[in-house]
């Protein structure tokens, strides 16, 4: 069960993320469990979506963004990725995701 997994992870980590595909994500920031809404898209290929989410989330956190903003970026980046075949985005697509978040 998801609730059991969250409770267990809280005993192991100061913060964590659980990605849930089209159901969004959960982010534990050490105090609150944040529900991150998914960006609704028509998925074509989900290969690499979790890696994209993780990389984008860490990008935001390394820049000092709060957990919600970093997760919103991660959700947008993963959503963009799954709309076509292949696990990579171009530099222009990456910049567009960042620009759209602001």
Domain assignment of residue 38, given as a range: 2-101
Task: Quote the percentage of the chain above a pLDDT of 90.
Answer: 98
**Strands (DSSP E) along the chain, which ranges?**
16-19, 25-28, 33-36
Pairwise CA distance, residues 75 & 84, whole Å? 16
Q: At 36, phi and psi to the nearest 5? A: -105, 120
- As given in the structure block, the two tokens for residue 89 are 């985005």
Please give the pLDDT value at position 37: 96
What is the pTM assigned to this prediction? 0.92
> Each residue of 32-77: pLDDT tens digit?
999 999 999 999 999 999 999 999 999 999 999 999 999 999 999 9
> For position 44, which CATH number holds?
3.40.1190.20
Q: What total number of domains does the chain contain?
A: 1
Radius of gyration of the chain (CA): 14
Tell me what the pLDDT averaged over the chain comes to: 96
Element (H, E) at 1: none
């Amino acid at each position: 069960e998801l609730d059991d997994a969250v409770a267990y992870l809280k005993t192991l980590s100061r913060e964590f993320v659980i990605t849930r595909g089209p159901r969004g994500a959960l982010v534990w920031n050490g105090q609150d469990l944040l529900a991150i809404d998914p960006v609704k898209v028509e998925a074509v290929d989900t290969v690499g979506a979790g890696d994209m989410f993780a990389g984008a989330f860490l990008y935001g956190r390394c820049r000092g963004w709060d957990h919600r903003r970093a997760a919103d970026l991660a959700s947008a980046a993963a959503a963009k990725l799954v709309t076509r075949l292949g696990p990579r985005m171009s530099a222009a697509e990456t910049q567009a995701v960042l620009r759209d978040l602001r």
